[in-house]
Chain A
Amino acid sequence: MKYHDYLTRRYLSRRWAPWAATVAVALGVFSLLTVLAVMEGFKVEMRERIRGTLSHLVIEADPFRGLVGEDQLLRTIKSIDGVKAAAPNVTTLALYKVGVMDHCVLRGIEPAAECQVSDLARFILSDDEINEMLKDRFMLLPADRDSMPVEQVEQLFSLERRRDVLRWRLQEDPGSGFSVDSPPKPIIVGIEALRSGRLSMGDVVQVSSYSPITLEPCSDNFLVVGAFQSGVYEQDLRWAYTHIRSLQDTLELWDDEAEDMRLSGISIKLDDYSQADRIKGEIRREVDRRMFLDQDHPDKIPLRSPSFETWEDKRANLIKAVEIEKRIISVLMLLIVAFAAGMIFLILMLLVIEKERDLGVLRALGATRSGVVSLVLRQGMFLCTVGAAVGLLAGWIFLENINGFHDLVYQWTGLRLFPPNVYYLERIPMVLRWQDILLVSLPTLVFGFFGSILPAIRAGRHDPIKALHHE
């Protein structure tokens, strides 16, 4: 009916108080949308970074048993349909010492193979980049930075590279005192280990660990020949790469029984990650069948099988934590929207009380009870919908330019609202998904409906006679 829109327009165009509720709804929607988009951005960014340092599938052996038969294992895995590449690794916890003592996760890799299964080549820094990063402690590698050619990555682990680094170091710091003729093993450390001053390029560090075979401590000298930046702060501080053969040698991983060097695990890259669960099962079956059942004594209990995990399984807790954080913040932010709907309720209630006589006149002139209910309900839903639309639009504009706004605040006030060293991100990440837009708008409209329906029902219950009785 005509009078709903007609009177809604009249009532709302002559009062500012109802629009305060709209502003509150808009602010609530704006905040909720912004928080959801930024949290989603964080999640995507974090997943991307974690994924970069891990490969699609990771096979990890029991640390005390390890895997043997590297060639056969790799051949078996690569023969499975959907597997693109596989690379062996040895991983150990280690202590290192240069002046101070610290610990790290030391990973022995085969450089060329590792580059095929993970984003290592994208993270490894050139000498120039290392120098720049040491000067600017907030600098991050641009997301679109090209990967380092595999030959260059391999070259970092070469004897020649170690000679060059040692020569350079001796020139810079003649007191280092190591002989160029007996170069230590190569080690590539995370950029934060250099930035924090724990290590520097050309340092010869004593790395100590224990051998899972002899269960004896073992140590070796390693030379810092390069650095990487994965974008995950903990990894950039604590992780280090060396050549797999060097680490196998240090940890004395020769398995007499198998007459082979042991591995800690195998990283696998797939053609299509969405097939990961299927391929994981196939690989498990193949590896278990070939490696862990003693062909001569099939009734013997097989060796403990290694774990087979996708990178998401491996970091499930971390990924879940961010997901839960996002959910909790959404619920908290929804309270703002609920508060705004509460404002709609109060304002409509006041309007209904103020307009009691008008509503009585409308009833006397032929308006139905449901017509009066609908008049009030429409006003509430109109205010709520406008608020939601304005909030969504403002949120979208803000999110599209979030870093521009951030820079502007920094220019005006000198205040960094988003310090890159805290979050290890240069820009504020943001991903606006339609699911999140729905997650914002639907509850807003539902809250708006509940905020409007009670005053509307009250308006419908008004007795027109009482309303018309007084001036």
Chain B
Amino acid sequence: MSDLSTSLPVISARKLVKSFPMANGSELKVLQELDLQIEESEMVAIVGMSGVGKSTLLHCLGLLDTPTTGEITYRDGDRTWRSTDLSEDDRCQLRNHFIGFVFQFFHLLPDLNVLENVMLPTVISQETGEWNRNRSKLESRGESLLERVGLKGRERQSPGTLSGGERQRVAIARALMMSPKLLLCDEPTGNLDSRTSESIHQLLRELHQDLSTSILVVTHDPDLASRADRRLQMIDGRFQNDSADNPETS
């Protein structure tokens, strides 16, 4: 685990509470004053039973949802952003530049081919003229990312023609397109068979070592969790006290 005094965390959440109103008027607290820090280039796995609030935490950290109370700080070098100060546009911009998402169900756009799916974040972030000027540069970056995830030569294919594992690789390439500081993976192998899962685990681990991106993985998969730098056990909206550095990877 990195020394906090020398390296500041990429993301830190403090006293995060997320509650949902129930039909009977009471409140369901999904996250209960939760604290979390992820250091630069750190890979953290969150494990836990279904319904303990793993995905809710990921959505809050990924700025898709807002916590009821508490604050999340994002840091890139000297720049920091506090979740409480962010406007809607800032949140969108952070989602685009700072965070990369990998979902359980891949969520590729069927109307775009593989390369276009990978380039989608750049299409969202850039103006038409700028994008057209940079197009060849962006395409070659997309192609090299696809090559990195083992899909060279499949750029023009439709996502519908790919297997589950291949689709997840495209989704990972898409998440890395903007070189985000933080990659949020929500059950990335939850929908894949064990062999394919193994190759995705391998890929995530390799990417983590190659790139300086911090990775937060929410998973049920003990194998994937065991490959992370740190494994956090979540129970009832809190991290269990015994969460510790992974002996296998540290």
Contacts and interface: CB of A to CB of B under 8 A. Distances in A.
Interface range for A? 20 to 34
A101 interface: no
Contact of B95 (A5, A10, A366): A366
Interface string A445-471: 000000000000000000011001011
Contact of B93 (A14, A361, A366): A366
B36 interface: no
B97 interface: yes
Contact of B107 (A2, A6, A7, A468): A468
B123 A364 contact: no
B107 A361 contact: yes
Given A357-B107, A361-B109, A2 B97 contact: no
A315 interface: no
Contacts of A5: 128
Interface SS of chain A: helix
Interface range for B? 20 to 34
Contacts of A100: none
B107 A3 contact: no
A365 B121 contact: yes
Contacts of A465: 59, 64-65
A360 interface: yes
Given A10-B112, A11-B111, A361-B107, A366 B96 contact: yes
A364 B62 contact: yes
A43 interface: no
Q: Among the interface residues B109, B127, B131, which one has the most CB atoms of the partner chain A within 10 A? A: B109
Contacts of B52: none
Interface in A323-372: 357-358, 360-369, 371
Interface in B68-99: 88-89, 92-93, 95-97
B173 to A, nearest CB: 13
Contacts of A363: 64, 92, 95
A258 interface: no
A100 B103 CA distance: 95
A368 B88 contact: yes
A471 B88 CA distance: 27
Contact of B111 (A10, A360, A364, A464): A10
Nearest to B122: A2
B166 to A, nearest CB: 16
Given A358-B109, A366-B97, A3 B59 contact: no
Contacts of A369: 88
Contacts of B103: 364, 468
A139 to B, nearest CB: 62
A1 interface: yes
A365 B124 contact: yes
Contacts of A464: 64
Nearest to B186: A468
A3 B64 contact: no
A235 B156 CA distance: 75
Interface in A2-39: 2-3, 5-7, 10-11, 14
A166 B99 CA distance: 106
Interface in A360-396: 360-369, 371
Interface in B190-212: 191
Nearest to B121: A365
B163 interface: no
B239 interface: no
Given A2-B131, A357-B107, A468-B103, A367 B88 contact: no
Q: Among the interface residues A361, A362, A369, A470, which one has the most CB atoms of the partner chain B within 10 A? A: A361
A443 to B, nearest CB: 31
Contacts of B120: 3, 361-362, 365
A365 B171 CA distance: 11
Given A2-B127, A14-B111, A362-B124, A368 B105 contact: no
A1 B128 contact: yes
Contacts of B126: 2
A435 B232 CA distance: 71
Given A2-B123, A14-B111, A365-B101, 9 more contacts: A2-B127, A10-B111, A365-B174, A366-B121, A366-B125, A368-B88, A368-B89, A368-B92, A371-B124
The 9 closest A-B pairs by CB, nearest first: A366-B96, A471-B105, A2-B128, A10-B111, A3-B123, A366-B95, A368-B92, A2-B131, A361-B107
9 contacts: A3-B120, A6-B123, A11-B111, A358-B109, A361-B120, A365-B101, A369-B88, A371-B124, A470-B105
